[in-house]
């Protein structure tokens, strides 16, 4: 099978490419140039896609003896990921750019180009598993499952993949722990064996999302208010706040009984940030849109586990789909659920699909 190995310059994608080669595939390494003005060197463990990262990927390809190319997808990344991230925050929502990148870049733009060039599949260094099961018609279908290493599991950010994309995807690291991957990289003589992992938003290398949004959207001072509309403080841009946030509010007076206060709503149309006590954050019902299914869409009510953020805990729930929307009812209340986040549904370790949270609320349960 002819396979494009997406090589970021990190240890995970290096070992993934090596394992695909060991499995007998015809492998070509590809580094995605996602920045229109890539830095020469990495400033820290944050971020990725520097010229240094491209060089690291090339060195691994040389060790493996495989062809290596850099594909320029900076314009597509800017439009589909960075501009989407900015516009979502401007709307008072809290997006996850990693899901959007997987959906739009790695498994749309990259896979589409690879197939157009005659390749059969794309392999990445994500920690997740593909499991083949009978399809009921004499063939096999592929399911997306959690990784063996729960601490590194990345199935949440892959919940946007559909069954057509999964049919052409490989995740060779899903059955291995991260320490073992580093050991394997060292055994193979890869320079990147001890390279720090990249984390946070890759296009905000200093990790200061608020400052980055301020530069992108400009300052727009407004009021911080409580549920009754009383002004408690001022902000320089409602976009810099997210539901569940407690730090950095700088309120003018404490709550009547001294309780901590949190952001409970962002109102971009009024340029207001609403704060309240923790009891106002509890929700048990979610409406999601932009539903993406990793197989056939569920029919009727299903029992699922629900994950609301990367590396977050899983909550038991009931879900049902209608069109491109999903309704989720959690068994218990949870807090800090913001519009724009993604809700990913699981059956055991299998990823059922995902949706973008459009609204959340507390629904009263009738006593019987």
Same domain as 190, residue 42: yes
Q: Is residue 27 part of a domain?
A: yes
pTM, full prediction? 0.91
Residues 157 and 99: beta-carbon distance below 8 Å = yes
The three-point CA angle 226-230-234 to 5° equals 80
Q: Which of 233, 257, 278 is the last residue of a domain?
A: 278
Q: How many residues does the chain have?
A: 368
User: Which residues are designated catalytic?
Assistant: 101, 202
Cα 301 to the chain's mean position, in Å? 26
What would the DSSP string read from start to end of 317-332? EEEEEETTEEEEEEEE
Do residues 87 and 183 both lie within one domain? yes
Alpha-carbon distance 145 to 350, whole Å?
4
Q: Which residue in 68, 73, 145 sits closest to 107, CA to CA? A: 73
| CATH assignment at residue 297 | 2.40.30.10
Residues 52, 149, single domain; the answer is yes
Structure tokens at 178: 């991260």
Buried/exposed 237-269: b ≥16 CB within 10 Å, e otherwise: bbbbbbbbbeeebeeeeeeeeeeebbbbbbebe
329 within some domain: yes
Q: What is the CATH number of the domain that holds 38?
A: 3.40.50.620
d(C-alpha 10, C-alpha 195), whole Å: 7
Contact 327, 320 (CB under 8 A): yes
pLDDT by 10s per residue, the chain, length 368:
999 999 999 999 999 999 999 999 999 999 999 986 655 544 544 455 678 899 999 999 999 999 999 999 999 999 999 999 999 999 999 999 999 999 999 998 999 999 999 999 999 999 999 999 988 888 889 999 999 999 999 999 999 999 999 999 999 999 999 999 999 999 999 999 999 887 668 888 788 888 999 999 998 999 999 999 999 999 999 998 999 999 989 898 888 888 899 999 999 999 999 999 988 889 999 999 999 999 989 999 999 999 999 989 999 999 999 989 999 999 999 998 999 999 999 999 999 999 999 999 998 765 44
pLDDT for the residue numbered 137: 85
Looking at the fold, whether 71 and 176 belong to one and the same domain comes out as: yes
User: At a CB cut-off of 8 Å and minimum separation 6, what does 238 contact?
Assistant: 92, 220, 222, 266, 267, 268, 271, 272, 273
155, 254: one domain: no
Residues 14 and 128 in one domain: yes
Q: pLDDT value at position 210?
A: 87
Domain edge (last residue) among 208, 243, 278? 278
pLDDT (0 to 100) of residue 255? 83
Domain co-membership, 35 together with 155:
yes
Q: Return phi, psi of residue 151, to 5°.
A: -70, -25
The reported pLDDT for the residue numbered 47 is 52
Q: What is the pLDDT of residue 38?
A: 58
Examine residue 270 and state whether it is found in any structural domain, yes or no: yes
Query: Which domain does 248 fall in, by range?
Result: 219-278
For the chain, the domain total comes to 3
Are 74 and 170 found together in one domain? yes
The answer on 272 and 254 residing in a single domain is: yes
Look at residue 73 and tell me if it is in a domain. Answer: yes
Check which CATH number belongs to the domain holding 272 and give it. Answer: 2.30.30
Q: Is 280 helix (H, G, I), strand (E, B) or coil?
A: helix
Last residue of a domain, one of 232, 260, 278: 278
- State whether 225 and 116 are in the same domain: no
**Do 111 and 88 fall within a single domain?**
yes
């Amino acid at each position: 099978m002819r396979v494009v190995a997406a090589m970021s310059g990190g240890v995970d994608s290096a070992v993934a490419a090596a394992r695909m080669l060991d499995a007998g595939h015809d492998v070509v390494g590809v580094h995605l140039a996602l920045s229109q003005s890539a830095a020469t060197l990495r400033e820290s463990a944050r971020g990725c896609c520097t010229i240094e990262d491209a060089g690291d990927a090339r060195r691994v390809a040389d060790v493996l003896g495989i062809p290596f190319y850099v594909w320029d997808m900076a314009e597509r990344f800017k439009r589909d990921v960075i501009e989407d991230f900015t516009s979502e925050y401007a709307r008072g929502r809290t997006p996850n750019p990693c899901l959007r990148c997987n959906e739009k870049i790695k498994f749309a733009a990259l896979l589409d180009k690879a197939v157009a060039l005659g390749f059969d599949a794309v392999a990445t260094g994500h920690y997740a598993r593909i499991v083949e099961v009978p399809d009921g018609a004499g063939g096999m279908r592929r399911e997306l499952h959690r990784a063996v290493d729960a601490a590194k599991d990345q199935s949440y950010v892959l919940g946007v993949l559909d069954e057509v994309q999964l049919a052409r995807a490989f995740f060779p690291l899903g059955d291995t722990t991260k320490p073992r991957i580093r050991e394997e990289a060292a055994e193979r003589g890869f320079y990147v064996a001890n390279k720090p992992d990249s984390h946070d938003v890759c296009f905000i290398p200093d990790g200061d999302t608020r400052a980055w949004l301020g530069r992108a959207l400009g300052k727009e001072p407004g009021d911080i208010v409580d549920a009754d509309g009383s002004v408690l403080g001022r902000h320089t841009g409602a976009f810099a706040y997210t539901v569940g946030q407690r730090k950095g509010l700088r309120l003018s007076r404490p709550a009547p009984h001294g309780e901590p206060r949190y952001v409970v709503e962002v109102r971009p149309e009024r340029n207001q940030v609403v704060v309240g006590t923790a009891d106002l954050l509890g929700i048990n019902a979610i409406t999601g849109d932009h539903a993406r299914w990793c197989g056939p869409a569920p029919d009727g009510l299903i029992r699922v586990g629900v994950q609301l953020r990367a590396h977050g805990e899983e909550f038991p729930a009931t879900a049902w789909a209608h069109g491109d929307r999903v309704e989720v009812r959690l068994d218990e209340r949870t807090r800090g659920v913001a519009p724009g986040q993604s809700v990913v549904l699981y059956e055991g370790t299998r990823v059922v699909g995902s949706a973008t949270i459009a609204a959340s609320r507390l629904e009263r349960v009738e006593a019987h």
